[in-house]
Amino acid sequence: MNDAEKPAGSIARVVAAARDAGLAIEVRRMGASTRTAEEAAAQCGCSVAQIVKSLVFQGERSGRLYLFLVSGPNRLDLAKAATLAGEPLKRAEPRHVRDETGFAIGGVAPIGHRIAIPAFADETLLGFDVVWAAAGAHDAVFAAAPDALMNAAKAKIADIAEG
């Protein structure tokens, strides 16, 4: 297991990134899987729409990674996403995500990545008082006000969902 896979190190990066951004968070280890938005919502006692999916895509031309923060039930609209990124996108390989961000799929957080990643956020998330996101491990989550979270993630708010 390398550093990227150690939950404690990954969670610590999320906590440090939040602190650096002036965002007060409390990471909760649920003791059960929060890998999917549905599982996370069940554990958090919130709606699936309040779960922030942190989806990593890769530019077909540049190879750069891009982060899309999408409300649980929504699907990322790849055409809209590509327009924002300025290049066609493909889903990043799980191993590449882990190596570059330091987070394994299912625990990818919106903040605390090893590398700086341009981020875009689903505008529908702003309609909630509180949203929940992965905190760097597949059983770890934290709650935040969506505007403060997107500010900490330096995410551009946009129409990125299908439909």
Which residues of the chain form contacts with ligand 5CA (CB under 6 A)? 34-37, 40, 51, 53-55, 91, 94, 105-108, 133-134, 141
- Residue 105 beta carbon to ligand 5CA: minimum distance, rounded to whole angstroms: 5
Distances (CA, A) of 154 to 18, 132, 144, 146: 12, 17, 14, 12
The minimum distance between CB 72 and ligand 5CA, in angstroms, equals 7
Pick the closer one to ligand 5CA by CB: 51 or 152: 51
Element at 71 (helix H, strand E): strand 65-71
> Which CB sits closer to ligand 5CA, 91 or 156?
91
Q: Give the nearer residue to ligand 5CA in terms of CB position, either 54 or 101.
A: 54
Query: What does the block give as tokens for 131?
Result: 């949203």
Least Å distance, CB 1 to ligand 5CA, is 19
Pairing of strands 65-71, 51-59: antiparallel
Instruction: Work out how close the CB of 81 gets to ligand 5CA at its nearest, in angstroms, rounded to a whole number.
Output: 12
Q: Which residue of the chain is nearest ligand 5CA when measured via CB? A: 53
Nearest to ligand 5CA of 117, 134 (CB atom): 134
Structure tokens at 101: 């961000």
Is the separation of the CB atoms in 106 and 36 below 8 Å? yes
CB 84 within 8 A of CB 140: no
